[in-house]
Amino acid sequence: MSHIKQKIKKICCIGAGYVGGPTMAVIALNCPELEIHVVDISEERIEKWNSKDLSKLPVYERGLDKILEKTRGINLFFSTNIDLAIEQSQMIFISVNTPVKKSGIGAGQMSDLRYVEACTRRISEKAKGHTIIVEKSTLPVRTAQTIKSILSSKIGSNNKDKTFSVLSNPEFLAEGTAINDLQNPDRVLIGGEDNYSISVLEKIYLNWVPSNKIIKTNLWSSELSKLASNAFLAQRISSINSISAFCEVSGADVAEVSKAIGKDQRIGAEFLKSGPGFGGSCFKKDILNLVYLCNYFGLKEVGDYWQGVVNINEWQQDRIYKIIVDKLFGNVSCKQIAILGFSFKSGTNDTRESPSISISKKLLSEGAFLKIHDPKVKASQILKDLDGYNFVEDDMDYDNSNNQGSWTFSKDVLTASKNADAIVVLTEWEEYKTINWEEISLYLRKPSWIFDARGVLDSSRIERIGLNLWRLGSGNFNNLS
Protein backbone atom coordinates (compact mmCIF):
# COMPACT_ATOMS: atom_id res chain seq x y z
CA MET A 1 0.00 0.00 0.00
CA SER A 2 3.04 2.29 -0.02
CA HIS A 3 1.93 3.85 -3.32
CA ILE A 4 -0.98 5.51 -1.58
CA LYS A 5 1.25 7.39 0.86
CA GLN A 6 1.85 10.27 -1.49
CA LYS A 7 2.05 13.85 -0.23
CA ILE A 8 -1.11 15.89 -0.64
CA LYS A 9 -0.33 18.93 -2.77
CA LYS A 10 -3.53 19.60 -4.65
CA ILE A 11 -7.06 19.28 -3.40
CA CYS A 12 -10.32 20.13 -5.02
CA CYS A 13 -13.85 20.72 -3.85
CA ILE A 14 -16.81 19.90 -6.05
CA GLY A 15 -19.59 22.38 -5.27
CA ALA A 16 -18.87 26.11 -4.89
CA GLY A 17 -21.81 26.84 -2.60
CA TYR A 18 -22.32 28.20 0.90
CA VAL A 19 -20.16 25.38 2.27
CA GLY A 20 -17.64 24.66 -0.49
CA GLY A 21 -16.55 28.27 -1.05
CA PRO A 22 -15.97 29.42 2.56
CA THR A 23 -14.58 26.03 3.71
CA MET A 24 -11.96 25.93 0.99
CA ALA A 25 -11.13 29.61 1.51
CA VAL A 26 -10.31 28.89 5.16
CA ILE A 27 -8.26 25.80 4.29
CA ALA A 28 -6.37 27.87 1.68
CA LEU A 29 -5.66 30.58 4.24
CA ASN A 30 -4.32 28.14 6.81
CA CYS A 31 -2.49 25.83 4.42
CA PRO A 32 -0.52 28.00 1.99
CA GLU A 33 1.41 24.95 0.76
CA LEU A 34 -1.79 23.42 -0.65
CA GLU A 35 -3.22 24.31 -4.08
CA ILE A 36 -6.99 24.27 -3.89
CA HIS A 37 -9.47 24.23 -6.75
CA VAL A 38 -13.16 24.84 -6.11
CA VAL A 39 -15.19 23.64 -9.08
CA ASP A 40 -18.85 23.80 -10.01
CA ILE A 41 -21.16 23.13 -12.93
CA SER A 42 -22.69 26.58 -12.54
CA GLU A 43 -20.78 29.08 -14.69
CA GLU A 44 -22.73 31.92 -13.15
CA ARG A 45 -21.64 30.95 -9.63
CA ILE A 46 -18.00 30.54 -10.58
CA GLU A 47 -18.04 33.89 -12.37
CA LYS A 48 -19.27 35.50 -9.17
CA TRP A 49 -16.58 33.77 -7.11
CA ASN A 50 -14.02 35.19 -9.55
CA SER A 51 -15.54 38.65 -9.57
CA LYS A 52 -13.01 41.47 -9.03
CA ASP A 53 -15.59 43.31 -6.96
CA LEU A 54 -15.65 41.29 -3.73
CA SER A 55 -19.10 42.60 -2.84
CA LYS A 56 -20.40 40.44 -5.73
CA LEU A 57 -19.40 37.08 -4.25
CA PRO A 58 -22.26 34.57 -4.43
CA VAL A 59 -22.13 34.09 -0.66
CA TYR A 60 -22.21 36.91 1.85
CA GLU A 61 -20.11 36.02 4.91
CA ARG A 62 -18.33 38.48 7.16
CA GLY A 63 -14.55 38.19 6.66
CA LEU A 64 -14.77 36.04 3.52
CA ASP A 65 -13.69 38.90 1.24
CA LYS A 66 -10.55 39.52 3.31
CA ILE A 67 -9.59 35.84 3.06
CA LEU A 68 -10.15 35.83 -0.70
CA GLU A 69 -7.92 38.89 -1.04
CA LYS A 70 -5.11 36.83 0.48
CA THR A 71 -5.75 33.50 -1.27
CA ARG A 72 -7.65 33.83 -4.55
CA GLY A 73 -5.37 33.38 -7.53
CA ILE A 74 -2.53 32.40 -5.18
CA ASN A 75 -3.45 28.99 -3.79
CA LEU A 76 -7.24 29.13 -4.22
CA PHE A 77 -8.87 28.89 -7.64
CA PHE A 78 -12.50 28.81 -8.78
CA SER A 79 -13.39 27.21 -12.11
CA THR A 80 -15.79 25.04 -14.05
CA ASN A 81 -13.01 22.75 -15.16
CA ILE A 82 -14.18 19.86 -13.03
CA ASP A 83 -12.42 17.05 -14.90
CA LEU A 84 -8.99 18.68 -14.74
CA ALA A 85 -9.41 19.42 -11.04
CA ILE A 86 -10.37 15.79 -10.36
CA GLU A 87 -7.45 14.46 -12.41
CA GLN A 88 -4.90 16.57 -10.57
CA SER A 89 -6.14 16.24 -6.99
CA GLN A 90 -5.02 13.80 -4.36
CA MET A 91 -7.95 14.70 -2.14
CA ILE A 92 -11.48 15.62 -3.32
CA PHE A 93 -14.19 17.13 -1.16
CA ILE A 94 -17.78 16.54 -2.26
CA SER A 95 -19.78 19.60 -1.24
CA VAL A 96 -22.74 19.53 -3.59
CA ASN A 97 -26.34 20.17 -2.60
CA THR A 98 -28.43 17.34 -1.14
CA PRO A 99 -32.02 18.60 -1.29
CA VAL A 100 -35.11 16.65 -0.37
CA LYS A 101 -36.45 14.42 -3.15
CA LYS A 102 -39.40 16.05 -4.89
CA SER A 103 -41.00 12.95 -6.40
CA GLY A 104 -40.89 9.18 -6.37
CA ILE A 105 -39.99 6.96 -3.43
CA GLY A 106 -39.35 9.00 -0.29
CA ALA A 107 -40.59 12.22 -1.91
CA GLY A 108 -40.65 15.09 0.56
CA GLN A 109 -38.35 13.29 3.02
CA MET A 110 -35.50 11.34 1.50
CA SER A 111 -32.30 13.08 0.31
CA ASP A 112 -32.00 13.50 -3.41
CA LEU A 113 -28.54 12.10 -4.02
CA ARG A 114 -28.45 12.73 -7.76
CA TYR A 115 -25.78 15.44 -7.47
CA VAL A 116 -23.61 13.35 -5.16
CA GLU A 117 -23.95 10.40 -7.51
CA ALA A 118 -23.18 12.52 -10.59
CA CYS A 119 -19.94 13.87 -9.22
CA THR A 120 -18.94 10.51 -7.76
CA ARG A 121 -19.27 8.98 -11.23
CA ARG A 122 -17.17 11.77 -12.64
CA ILE A 123 -14.50 11.17 -9.99
CA SER A 124 -14.61 7.46 -10.68
CA GLU A 125 -13.93 8.16 -14.32
CA LYS A 126 -11.38 10.96 -14.14
CA ALA A 127 -9.36 10.42 -10.97
CA LYS A 128 -5.74 9.29 -11.26
CA GLY A 129 -3.66 7.30 -8.77
CA HIS A 130 -4.83 7.19 -5.19
CA THR A 131 -7.52 9.71 -4.24
CA ILE A 132 -9.06 10.43 -0.85
CA ILE A 133 -12.73 11.32 -1.21
CA VAL A 134 -14.17 13.45 1.57
CA GLU A 135 -17.93 13.69 2.11
CA LYS A 136 -18.52 17.31 3.09
CA SER A 137 -22.18 17.41 2.08
CA THR A 138 -24.69 16.30 4.70
CA LEU A 139 -25.69 12.79 3.68
CA PRO A 140 -27.98 9.98 4.76
CA VAL A 141 -26.27 7.40 6.92
CA ARG A 142 -24.50 4.77 4.79
CA THR A 143 -24.07 7.01 1.73
CA ALA A 144 -20.35 6.31 1.93
CA GLN A 145 -21.24 2.76 0.94
CA THR A 146 -22.93 4.02 -2.24
CA ILE A 147 -19.97 6.25 -3.02
CA LYS A 148 -17.56 3.36 -2.52
CA SER A 149 -19.58 1.11 -4.84
CA ILE A 150 -19.60 3.70 -7.62
CA LEU A 151 -15.91 4.45 -7.20
CA SER A 152 -14.93 0.82 -7.20
CA SER A 153 -16.52 0.36 -10.62
CA LYS A 154 -13.67 2.59 -11.89
CA ILE A 155 -15.44 3.87 -14.94
CA GLY A 156 -13.19 4.63 -17.90
CA SER A 157 -10.00 3.26 -19.29
CA ASN A 158 -6.97 4.58 -17.40
CA ASN A 159 -7.89 2.75 -14.26
CA LYS A 160 -4.96 0.46 -13.60
CA ASP A 161 -3.60 2.32 -10.59
CA LYS A 162 -6.81 3.95 -9.49
CA THR A 163 -7.60 3.55 -5.77
CA PHE A 164 -9.92 5.41 -3.45
CA SER A 165 -10.48 5.92 0.22
CA VAL A 166 -13.73 7.51 1.48
CA LEU A 167 -13.96 9.73 4.56
CA SER A 168 -16.88 11.52 6.15
CA ASN A 169 -16.09 15.03 7.35
CA PRO A 170 -19.42 16.81 7.87
CA GLU A 171 -19.55 20.57 8.12
CA PHE A 172 -21.06 22.31 11.15
CA LEU A 173 -20.73 25.94 10.07
CA ALA A 174 -23.74 28.19 10.40
CA GLU A 175 -24.42 30.82 7.78
CA GLY A 176 -23.60 34.36 8.84
CA THR A 177 -20.85 33.14 11.17
CA ALA A 178 -19.24 30.73 8.70
CA ILE A 179 -15.74 32.18 8.81
CA ASN A 180 -15.55 32.25 12.59
CA ASP A 181 -17.08 28.75 12.79
CA LEU A 182 -14.49 27.46 10.32
CA GLN A 183 -11.55 29.22 11.97
CA ASN A 184 -12.59 28.22 15.51
CA PRO A 185 -14.73 25.10 15.23
CA ASP A 186 -16.22 23.46 18.35
CA ARG A 187 -15.09 20.21 16.79
CA VAL A 188 -13.97 18.67 13.52
CA LEU A 189 -15.40 15.24 12.86
CA ILE A 190 -13.57 12.73 10.68
CA GLY A 191 -15.15 9.35 10.06
CA GLY A 192 -13.43 6.61 8.13
CA GLU A 193 -12.06 3.11 7.96
CA ASP A 194 -8.58 3.81 6.75
CA ASN A 195 -6.33 5.32 9.43
CA TYR A 196 -3.81 6.66 6.96
CA SER A 197 -6.42 8.75 5.07
CA ILE A 198 -7.91 9.94 8.34
CA SER A 199 -4.48 11.13 9.46
CA VAL A 200 -3.90 12.95 6.15
CA LEU A 201 -7.11 14.95 6.56
CA GLU A 202 -6.39 15.46 10.26
CA LYS A 203 -3.00 16.91 9.37
CA ILE A 204 -4.66 19.55 7.20
CA TYR A 205 -6.93 20.66 10.06
CA LEU A 206 -4.06 20.59 12.57
CA ASN A 207 -2.69 23.66 10.78
CA TRP A 208 -5.19 25.71 12.77
CA VAL A 209 -7.46 23.42 14.84
CA PRO A 210 -6.20 22.11 18.23
CA SER A 211 -5.88 18.32 18.24
CA ASN A 212 -8.31 17.89 21.16
CA LYS A 213 -11.07 19.29 18.93
CA ILE A 214 -10.62 16.66 16.24
CA ILE A 215 -12.89 13.68 16.77
CA LYS A 216 -12.28 10.46 14.86
CA THR A 217 -15.09 7.94 14.48
CA ASN A 218 -16.25 5.22 12.15
CA LEU A 219 -17.93 6.32 8.92
CA TRP A 220 -21.49 5.73 10.02
CA SER A 221 -21.16 7.53 13.37
CA SER A 222 -19.80 10.54 11.53
CA GLU A 223 -22.63 10.59 8.98
CA LEU A 224 -25.28 10.10 11.68
CA SER A 225 -23.74 12.67 14.05
CA LYS A 226 -24.29 15.41 11.49
CA LEU A 227 -27.99 14.59 11.05
CA ALA A 228 -28.43 14.19 14.81
CA SER A 229 -26.67 17.50 15.56
CA ASN A 230 -29.02 19.43 13.32
CA ALA A 231 -32.02 17.56 14.70
CA PHE A 232 -31.00 18.40 18.29
CA LEU A 233 -30.48 22.09 17.45
CA ALA A 234 -33.83 22.31 15.66
CA GLN A 235 -35.52 20.45 18.51
CA ARG A 236 -34.43 23.18 20.94
CA ILE A 237 -35.98 25.84 18.71
CA SER A 238 -39.26 23.95 18.41
CA SER A 239 -39.24 23.40 22.17
CA ILE A 240 -38.86 27.09 22.98
CA ASN A 241 -41.35 28.03 20.26
CA SER A 242 -43.94 25.70 21.77
CA ILE A 243 -43.33 27.45 25.09
CA SER A 244 -43.67 30.87 23.38
CA ALA A 245 -47.30 30.09 22.61
CA PHE A 246 -47.84 29.02 26.19
CA CYS A 247 -46.31 32.29 27.42
CA GLU A 248 -48.76 34.27 25.34
CA VAL A 249 -51.79 32.67 26.97
CA SER A 250 -50.41 32.58 30.49
CA GLY A 251 -48.88 36.04 30.99
CA ALA A 252 -45.31 34.69 31.04
CA ASP A 253 -42.55 36.11 28.85
CA VAL A 254 -40.57 33.73 26.68
CA ALA A 255 -37.36 35.81 26.90
CA GLU A 256 -37.48 35.50 30.70
CA VAL A 257 -38.37 31.81 30.57
CA SER A 258 -35.60 31.08 28.09
CA LYS A 259 -33.07 32.92 30.26
CA ALA A 260 -34.19 30.99 33.32
CA ILE A 261 -33.98 27.64 31.50
CA GLY A 262 -30.65 28.42 29.86
CA LYS A 263 -28.94 29.24 33.15
CA ASP A 264 -29.04 25.53 33.97
CA GLN A 265 -25.63 24.45 32.75
CA ARG A 266 -27.01 21.06 31.80
CA ILE A 267 -29.35 22.78 29.34
CA GLY A 268 -27.21 25.75 28.26
CA ALA A 269 -28.29 29.11 26.89
CA GLU A 270 -27.74 28.65 23.14
CA PHE A 271 -30.54 28.01 20.64
CA LEU A 272 -33.32 29.01 22.99
CA LYS A 273 -34.47 32.15 21.18
CA SER A 274 -38.06 31.89 20.10
CA GLY A 275 -38.93 33.21 16.67
CA PRO A 276 -41.01 32.49 13.58
CA GLY A 277 -39.50 29.02 13.31
CA PHE A 278 -36.25 27.73 11.97
CA GLY A 279 -35.43 28.32 8.33
CA GLY A 280 -32.29 27.68 6.35
CA SER A 281 -31.42 25.06 3.83
CA CYS A 282 -30.71 22.25 6.24
CA PHE A 283 -32.66 21.82 9.47
CA LYS A 284 -35.93 20.79 7.86
CA LYS A 285 -34.38 18.64 5.14
CA ASP A 286 -32.01 16.91 7.55
CA ILE A 287 -34.75 16.10 10.07
CA LEU A 288 -37.04 14.84 7.31
CA ASN A 289 -34.19 12.69 6.12
CA LEU A 290 -33.73 11.35 9.65
CA VAL A 291 -37.47 10.62 9.82
CA TYR A 292 -37.28 8.78 6.52
CA LEU A 293 -34.33 6.68 7.67
CA CYS A 294 -36.05 5.88 10.99
CA ASN A 295 -39.11 4.62 9.16
CA TYR A 296 -36.96 2.77 6.63
CA PHE A 297 -35.26 0.90 9.47
CA GLY A 298 -38.63 0.19 11.14
CA LEU A 299 -38.23 2.76 13.92
CA LYS A 300 -41.62 4.46 13.46
CA GLU A 301 -41.83 5.87 17.00
CA VAL A 302 -38.40 7.47 16.62
CA GLY A 303 -39.42 8.94 13.26
CA ASP A 304 -42.68 10.31 14.73
CA TYR A 305 -40.72 11.94 17.55
CA TRP A 306 -38.50 13.91 15.15
CA GLN A 307 -41.39 14.66 12.78
CA GLY A 308 -42.94 16.53 15.72
CA VAL A 309 -40.06 19.02 15.62
CA VAL A 310 -40.91 19.92 12.02
CA ASN A 311 -44.65 20.01 12.75
CA ILE A 312 -44.20 22.56 15.56
CA ASN A 313 -42.05 24.66 13.24
CA GLU A 314 -44.76 24.82 10.60
CA TRP A 315 -47.43 25.43 13.22
CA GLN A 316 -45.46 28.40 14.61
CA GLN A 317 -45.39 30.11 11.19
CA ASP A 318 -49.07 29.44 10.62
CA ARG A 319 -49.86 30.70 14.12
CA ILE A 320 -48.07 34.01 13.51
CA TYR A 321 -49.87 34.55 10.19
CA LYS A 322 -53.24 33.88 11.82
CA ILE A 323 -52.47 36.30 14.67
CA ILE A 324 -51.61 39.05 12.16
CA VAL A 325 -54.89 38.56 10.30
CA ASP A 326 -56.83 38.34 13.54
CA LYS A 327 -55.39 41.59 14.97
CA LEU A 328 -56.14 43.39 11.69
CA PHE A 329 -59.87 42.74 12.25
CA GLY A 330 -59.80 39.40 10.45
CA ASN A 331 -59.18 41.06 7.10
CA VAL A 332 -55.92 41.96 5.36
CA SER A 333 -57.29 42.26 1.86
CA CYS A 334 -55.87 45.42 0.26
CA LYS A 335 -54.15 46.33 3.51
CA GLN A 336 -50.52 47.37 3.29
CA ILE A 337 -48.18 45.32 5.44
CA ALA A 338 -44.45 46.00 5.77
CA ILE A 339 -42.46 42.79 6.03
CA LEU A 340 -39.12 43.54 7.64
CA GLY A 341 -36.59 40.82 6.95
CA PHE A 342 -36.67 38.13 4.29
CA SER A 343 -33.50 36.12 4.96
CA PHE A 344 -33.94 33.11 7.24
CA LYS A 345 -31.85 34.82 9.91
CA SER A 346 -29.71 37.94 10.17
CA GLY A 347 -26.17 38.05 8.81
CA THR A 348 -26.94 36.19 5.58
CA ASN A 349 -28.57 36.86 2.21
CA ASP A 350 -29.86 33.27 2.12
CA THR A 351 -33.65 32.91 1.99
CA ARG A 352 -33.91 29.14 1.73
CA GLU A 353 -36.83 27.88 3.87
CA SER A 354 -37.11 31.35 5.38
CA PRO A 355 -40.23 31.72 7.56
CA SER A 356 -40.72 35.03 5.70
CA ILE A 357 -41.57 33.08 2.55
CA SER A 358 -44.35 31.01 4.05
CA ILE A 359 -45.80 33.87 6.12
CA SER A 360 -45.69 36.23 3.11
CA LYS A 361 -47.39 33.68 0.86
CA LYS A 362 -50.20 33.18 3.38
CA LEU A 363 -50.75 36.94 3.70
CA LEU A 364 -50.66 37.35 -0.09
CA SER A 365 -53.28 34.64 -0.44
CA GLU A 366 -55.50 36.76 1.84
CA GLY A 367 -55.12 39.66 -0.62
CA ALA A 368 -52.62 41.78 1.32
CA PHE A 369 -50.21 44.26 -0.29
CA LEU A 370 -46.76 43.46 1.12
CA LYS A 371 -43.88 45.91 1.15
CA ILE A 372 -40.84 43.78 1.71
CA HIS A 373 -37.53 45.07 2.99
CA ASP A 374 -34.29 43.25 3.71
CA PRO A 375 -30.85 44.82 3.99
CA LYS A 376 -29.12 41.93 2.20
CA VAL A 377 -31.67 40.00 0.12
CA LYS A 378 -32.16 41.32 -3.41
CA ALA A 379 -35.57 41.84 -5.04
CA SER A 380 -34.59 39.32 -7.72
CA GLN A 381 -34.29 36.59 -5.07
CA ILE A 382 -37.67 37.45 -3.53
CA LEU A 383 -39.17 37.29 -7.02
CA LYS A 384 -38.01 33.67 -7.24
CA ASP A 385 -39.23 32.87 -3.73
CA LEU A 386 -42.66 34.41 -4.32
CA ASP A 387 -42.98 33.04 -7.83
CA GLY A 388 -46.60 33.11 -8.95
CA TYR A 389 -47.56 36.06 -6.77
CA ASN A 390 -48.18 39.49 -8.23
CA PHE A 391 -45.14 41.85 -8.11
CA VAL A 392 -45.37 45.61 -8.62
CA GLU A 393 -42.38 47.96 -9.12
CA ASP A 394 -43.51 50.36 -6.41
CA ASP A 395 -46.47 51.56 -4.34
CA MET A 396 -47.73 53.71 -7.22
CA ASP A 397 -48.29 50.62 -9.39
CA TYR A 398 -50.39 48.87 -6.79
CA ASP A 399 -53.91 48.32 -8.01
CA ASN A 400 -56.23 47.38 -5.16
CA SER A 401 -59.30 47.06 -7.34
CA ASN A 402 -58.78 43.39 -8.13
CA ASN A 403 -58.44 42.25 -4.50
CA GLN A 404 -55.38 40.28 -5.45
CA GLY A 405 -52.41 39.99 -3.16
CA SER A 406 -49.37 41.90 -4.44
CA TRP A 407 -45.93 42.77 -3.21
CA THR A 408 -43.22 45.29 -3.83
CA PHE A 409 -39.60 45.63 -2.74
CA SER A 410 -38.89 48.57 -0.44
CA LYS A 411 -35.40 50.01 -0.35
CA ASP A 412 -35.63 51.05 3.31
CA VAL A 413 -37.81 50.74 6.40
CA LEU A 414 -39.34 54.16 5.95
CA THR A 415 -40.48 53.43 2.40
CA ALA A 416 -41.90 50.09 3.53
CA SER A 417 -43.82 51.80 6.34
CA LYS A 418 -45.55 54.50 4.28
CA ASN A 419 -49.33 54.03 4.60
CA ALA A 420 -48.80 50.61 6.14
CA ASP A 421 -51.45 49.19 8.47
CA ALA A 422 -48.91 46.90 10.06
CA ILE A 423 -45.20 46.19 10.32
CA VAL A 424 -44.09 42.60 10.77
CA VAL A 425 -40.51 41.94 11.86
CA LEU A 426 -39.46 38.46 10.74
CA THR A 427 -35.64 38.68 10.71
CA GLU A 428 -33.58 40.01 13.59
CA TRP A 429 -31.42 42.48 11.60
CA GLU A 430 -29.54 44.99 13.79
CA GLU A 431 -31.03 47.97 11.98
CA TYR A 432 -34.54 46.97 13.03
CA LYS A 433 -33.52 47.21 16.69
CA THR A 434 -32.88 50.93 16.36
CA ILE A 435 -35.87 51.96 14.21
CA ASN A 436 -36.97 55.54 14.89
CA TRP A 437 -40.54 54.67 15.86
CA GLU A 438 -41.55 58.28 16.45
CA GLU A 439 -40.74 59.05 12.80
CA ILE A 440 -42.18 55.79 11.41
CA SER A 441 -45.39 56.29 13.35
CA LEU A 442 -46.11 59.45 11.35
CA TYR A 443 -46.31 57.43 8.15
CA LEU A 444 -48.44 54.49 9.33
CA ARG A 445 -52.17 54.23 8.73
CA LYS A 446 -53.95 54.14 12.09
CA PRO A 447 -54.86 52.06 13.98
CA SER A 448 -51.53 50.43 13.23
CA TRP A 449 -49.97 47.25 14.51
CA ILE A 450 -46.37 46.24 15.03
CA PHE A 451 -45.74 42.49 15.11
CA ASP A 452 -42.41 41.55 16.58
CA ALA A 453 -41.88 37.88 15.73
CA ARG A 454 -38.23 37.98 16.86
CA GLY A 455 -38.58 39.81 20.17
CA VAL A 456 -35.98 42.40 19.13
CA LEU A 457 -37.85 45.70 19.05
CA ASP A 458 -37.78 48.47 21.63
CA SER A 459 -41.22 47.65 23.01
CA SER A 460 -41.51 50.42 25.61
CA ARG A 461 -40.72 53.04 22.95
CA ILE A 462 -43.34 51.59 20.58
CA GLU A 463 -46.00 51.48 23.27
CA ARG A 464 -45.13 54.97 24.51
CA ILE A 465 -46.14 56.48 21.19
CA GLY A 466 -49.41 54.60 21.12
CA LEU A 467 -48.81 51.94 18.48
CA ASN A 468 -50.33 48.51 19.03
CA LEU A 469 -47.64 45.94 19.67
CA TRP A 470 -47.74 42.17 19.53
CA ARG A 471 -44.54 40.48 20.61
CA LEU A 472 -43.97 36.78 20.14
CA GLY A 473 -43.99 34.85 23.38
CA SER A 474 -45.14 37.71 25.52
CA GLY A 475 -48.16 37.50 27.78
CA ASN A 476 -48.02 41.27 28.18
CA PHE A 477 -48.73 43.92 25.55
CA ASN A 478 -51.73 43.20 23.40
CA ASN A 479 -51.14 39.49 23.15
CA LEU A 480 -53.71 38.36 25.69
CA SER A 481 -57.12 38.33 24.19
CB 91 within 8 A of CB 132: yes
Choose, from 162, 226, 285, 335, the residue flagged as catalytic: 226
390 binds, among ligand NAD, ligand UGA, none (CB under 5 to 8 A by kind): none
Q: Which is nearer to ligand NAD, 96 or 359 (CB)?
A: 96
**What's the closest the beta carbon of residue 164 comes to ligand UGA, in angstroms?**
25
Q: Which residue, 137 or 316, has its beta carbon nearer to ligand NAD?
A: 137
Residue 457 has φ and ψ, to the nearest 5°, of -85, 160
Which does residue 20 bind out of ligand UGA, ligand NAD, none, counting CB within 5 to 8 angstroms by kind? Answer: ligand NAD
In whole angstroms, how far apart are CA 89 and each of 13, 92, 286, 341, 459? 9, 7, 30, 42, 56
Altogether, the residues listed in the chain come to a count of: 481
Q: Find which of ligand UGA, ligand NAD, none residue 345 binds, CB within 5 to 8 Å per kind.
A: ligand UGA
Q: Please, which of residues 333-362 interact with ligand UGA by CB under 6 A?
A: 344-345
Q: Answer whether 423's CB lies under 8 Å from 450's CB.
A: yes
- Chain CA centroid to CA 361, Å: 20
Q: Which does 275 bind (CB under 5 to 8 A by kind): ligand UGA, ligand NAD, none?
A: ligand UGA
Q: What are phi and psi of 365, to 5 degrees?
A: -65, -20
Q: Which does 273 bind (CB under 5 to 8 A by kind): ligand UGA, ligand NAD, none?
A: ligand UGA
User: For ligand UGA, which is the closer residue by CB, 106 or 176?
Assistant: 176
Question: What is the closest distance, in whole angstroms, from the C-beta atom of residue 363 to ligand NAD in the complex?
Answer: 27
Which residue, 309 or 416, is less far from ligand UGA as judged by CB? 309
Nearest position to ligand NAD, beta carbon: 17
CA distance 285 to 444: 39
Cβ proximity to ligand NAD: between 95 and 408 the closer is 95
Residue 325 has a CB neighbour count (10 Å cut-off) of 17
What is the spatial distance between Cα 178 and Cα 180, in angstroms, rounded to a whole number? Answer: 6
Total of residues contacting ligand UGA (CB under 6 A): 21
The footprint of ligand NAD (CB under 6 A) covers 14-20, 40-42, 45, 82, 95-98, 115, 118-119, 137-138, 171, 173, 175, 281-282
From 282, 294, 327, 428, active-site residue? 282
In the bound state with ligand UGA, the residue whose beta carbon lies nearer, of 278 and 292, is 278
Positions in 175-194 near ligand UGA (CB under 6 A): 175
Using CB distances below 5 to 8 A depending on partner kind, what does residue 40 bind out of ligand NAD, ligand UGA, none? ligand NAD
Task: Return phi, psi of residue 215, to 5°.
Answer: -105, 130
Which one, 182 or 472, has the nearer CB to ligand NAD? 182
Catalytic residue among 171, 175, 202, 353: 171
Question: For this structure, is 226 an active site residue?
Answer: yes
282 is catalytic: yes
Give the span between the Cα atoms of 378 and 265, in whole angstroms.
Answer: 40
User: For residue 48, what are the CA distances in angstroms to 39, 54, 65, 235, 297?
Assistant: 13, 9, 12, 35, 42
Q: Quick count: other Cβ atoms within 10 Å of Cβ 469?
A: 21
- Which of 138, 143, 235, 356 is in the footprint of ligand UGA by CB under 6 A? 138
* Residue 385 touches ligand UGA, criterion: CB under 6 A: no
171 given a catalytic annotation? yes
- Least distance from C-beta 255 to ligand UGA, angstroms? 11
Site string for ligand UGA, 222-241 (x = CB under 6 A): --------x--x---x----
Smaller CB separation from ligand UGA, 86 or 141: 141
Q: Which does 324 bind (CB under 5 to 8 A by kind): ligand UGA, ligand NAD, none?
A: none
The distance of closest approach from Cβ of residue 103 to ligand NAD in the complex, given in angstroms and rounded to an integer, is 18
Which residues ranging from 259 to 318 are in contact with ligand UGA (CB under 6 A)?
Answer: 271-273, 275, 278-283
Site for ligand UGA in 88-127 (CB under 6 A): none
Contact yes or no for 36/28 (Cβ under 8 A): yes
CB of 230 to ligand UGA, least distance (A): 5
41 versus 392: smaller Cβ distance to ligand NAD: 41
Partner touching 119 among ligand NAD, ligand UGA, none, CB below 5 to 8 Å by kind: ligand NAD
Binding site for ligand UGA (CB under 6 A): 138, 171-175, 230, 233, 237, 271-273, 275, 278-283, 344-345
Task: List active site positions.
Answer: 171, 226, 282
